[in-house]
Structure 1
Amino acid sequence: MVSVGHGSSPEQDQDLMFGQSREKRRASRWREYGSIGGDCTGDICPTCQGIGRIPRGQENQLVAVIPCSDQRLKPQHTKLYVSLSVALCLLTCALILFFLFPRSMTLSPVINKSVLVFFTPSTVEMKVTNVLNITNENFVSVQAHDMDLQALIWDTVAGRIKISNVTTVRPRSQKLLTVVIPISIEDVGLNTYCKSSSIRIHTLFLHLQMSMKVFYLGHSEQLSIDTFQYIDCGTNSTVPHAT
């Protein structure tokens, strides 16, 4: 029996075989490319599934690959920005240290303003008024407290005062402080010397020892000073006390 069918040339059979081979290679390549779920979808992108955007919920599962030649990996003016940032930080630190670095505090005598003398039968009472200067070189206010001042005559303590809250000195300024020191002379020889009318000048050598604490920038500091004065114990505003 002879079957009758459509005839084909050898060239057509060869093209058909080559076409089937190409389809097999393409299907194999698709299977190697694959998708996230392992399903082959042909020419459809396995990442976006052909919709042109990343599906919701997969943003944290995908990794972007950027070529080394991409300009986003080479930002411009990086060294300039880093240098400016470092310079700004150094300048800020320098300014903070400059304004907050503790500076010196100075306590100094200015003048012996007056001496008031009072005679009693057994003593010579005096009130010595001194003006002190407190200098603040800091850029913050300074609180002065606990002043201790004592007056000595020939190494003998003749008077002493203590002041708890002294004053507050504003930044970069000076402040004058008036202090009255009571002095009592009980020594017989000094009493005779001060009360003698035959002596025209009754000069005493007064030694003042002063100390004061100052508080600023979170820490406390003690200032001390010694000064020497000449006072007249017989002629300045002498008023007899009632006995």
Structure 2
Amino acid sequence: MVTLGQGSSSKEDERAHIIKDRSKSRMSRWLDYGSINADGPWDSCPTCQGIGRIPRGQENQLVAVIPCSDQRLKPARTKLYVCISVVLCLLFSSLVLFFLFPRSIVMSPIAFQSALVYFTPDTVEMTIKNNVNISNQNFVAVTIHDLELQVLIYETVVGKTKLANVTTIPPLTQRTVSVNTEIVIDDRGLNNYCKSSAIRIHTLFFHLQMTVKVDYLSHSEQLSTDTYEYIECGSNTTIPHSMGPN
């Protein structure tokens, strides 16, 4: 009787021990992640909370640890994409520099067009018309303003013209600017020279100085040109007569 009782008790203890080990194995597989040295106490995984998957709504709050040897850290064609990006940036920069780089504004010499001569008892008055061509070699429009033209005879100013707003020149375009200048000659010797009927040719030698200001691409510069003209002053007429540029 005693022997049977002990055998029965031993089998029950062994069965209970087996059940306990199986339960512990299942708990460690599905619910517990354990300590570093595999010793207790066993705790629930803080990421999945023992359910084996990430709860909804926490995907954007968790950080995954990926080994350095993972292929996802070495995407294919990385060098190709980097080279294409660098080439596109250089191409875009070159185009910007090509189109926005300031180019020169060319102003041609002054060309004489016509003259009106008036005789008064003490003076000789003239209205001369001159043209100047201004060429814009930029890819943006330029503004021409503050034009000033003065006429000299032997270093003496006999006429002056000022224009505040002149014109706007579109990109890669040339414009012709016409300037009318009033000249008054009150020198007695020059008056007698122009009005004398004993002299066939009454030619005056004029020195013209022109300056203009140009604005483009937040940049301002001043252009200037000098020229010399021979103008007939012996005809007292109100009809303009053309003379070729000299």
Question: For the structure 1 residues 151 and 61, does the alpha-carbon distance in structure 2 shift closer, same or farther, using more than 3 Å as the test?
Answer: closer
Partner of 1:129 in structure 2?
129
Determine helix, strand or coil for the equivalent of 2:227. strand
Determine helix, strand or coil for the equivalent of 1:5. helix
Give the Å deviation of 1:50. 5.0
Partner of 1:97 in structure 2?
97
Give the Å deviation of 1:225. 1.0
Partner of 1:142 in structure 2?
142
1:155 aligns with 2:158: no
Question: For the structure 1 residues 131 and 61, does the alpha-carbon distance in structure 2 shift closer, same or farther, using more than 3 Å as the test?
Answer: closer
The alignment yields a C-alpha RMSD, in angstroms, of: 3.1
Determine helix, strand or coil for the equivalent of 1:4. helix
- Structure 2 runs not aligned, ≥5 long: 240-246
Partner of 2:243 in structure 1?
none
Q: Assess if the C-alpha contact under 8 Å between 2:141 and 2:171 holds in 1.
A: yes
Q: Assess if the C-alpha contact under 8 Å between 1:109 and 1:130 holds in 2.
A: no
CA distance in 2, matches of 1:123, 1:66: 99
CA distance in 2, matches of 1:238, 1:33: 114
Question: Within 5 Å, which residues of 2 pair with 1:39-78?
Answer: 40=42, 47-49=47-49, 51-56=51-56, 58-59=58-59, 62-78=62-78
CA distance in 2, matches of 1:196, 1:61: 104
Question: For the structure 1 residues 83 and 150, does the alpha-carbon distance in structure 2 shift closer, same or farther, using more than 3 Å as the test?
Answer: same
Question: Within 5 Å, which residues of 2 pair with 1:102-113?
Answer: 102-113=102-113
1:112 counterpart letter in structure 2: F
Partner of 1:219 in structure 2?
219
Partner of 1:171 in structure 2?
171
CA distance in 2, matches of 1:79, 1:228: 65
1:192 aligns with 2:192: yes
Give the Å deviation of 1:139. 0.7
2:149 counterpart letter in structure 1: L
Question: For the structure 1 residues 182 and 61, does the alpha-carbon distance in structure 2 shift closer, same or farther, using more than 3 Å as the test?
Answer: closer
Question: For the structure 1 residues 61 and 169, does the alpha-carbon distance in structure 2 shift closer, same or farther, using more than 3 Å as the test?
Answer: closer
CA distance in 2, matches of 1:228, 1:58: 87
1:66 counterpart letter in structure 2: I
Give the Å deviation of 1:48. 2.4
What whole-Å deviation, never above 9, does each CA across 1:80-135 have from its counterpart, x for those lacking one? Answer: 11111111111111111111111111222352111111111110001111111011
Question: For the structure 1 residues 39 and 55, does the alpha-carbon distance in structure 2 shift closer, same or farther, using more than 3 Å as the test?
Answer: farther
1:4 aligns with 2:3: yes
CA distance in 2, matches of 1:153, 1:7: 144
Moved more, 230-239 or 110-119: 230-239
* Percent of aligned positions that are identical: 58
1:165 counterpart letter in structure 2: N
Partner of 2:34 in structure 1?
33
Q: Assess if the C-alpha contact under 8 Å between 2:110 and 2:227 holds in 1.
A: no
Question: For the structure 1 residues 174 and 144, does the alpha-carbon distance in structure 2 shift closer, same or farther, using more than 3 Å as the test?
Answer: same
Q: Assess if the C-alpha contact under 8 Å between 1:34 and 1:46 holds in 2.
A: no
1:105 counterpart letter in structure 2: I
Question: For the structure 1 residues 61 and 179, does the alpha-carbon distance in structure 2 shift closer, same or farther, using more than 3 Å as the test?
Answer: closer
What whole-Å deviation, never above 9, does each CA across 1:157-196 have from its counterpart, x for those lacking one? Answer: 0000101111111110100111111111000110111111
1:157 counterpart letter in structure 2: V
Partner of 1:117 in structure 2?
117
1:128 counterpart letter in structure 2: I
- TM-score, scaled relative to structure 2: 0.79
Question: For the structure 1 residues 171 and 39, does the alpha-carbon distance in structure 2 shift closer, same or farther, using more than 3 Å as the test?
Answer: farther
Q: Assess if the C-alpha contact under 8 Å between 1:119 and 1:238 holds in 2.
A: no
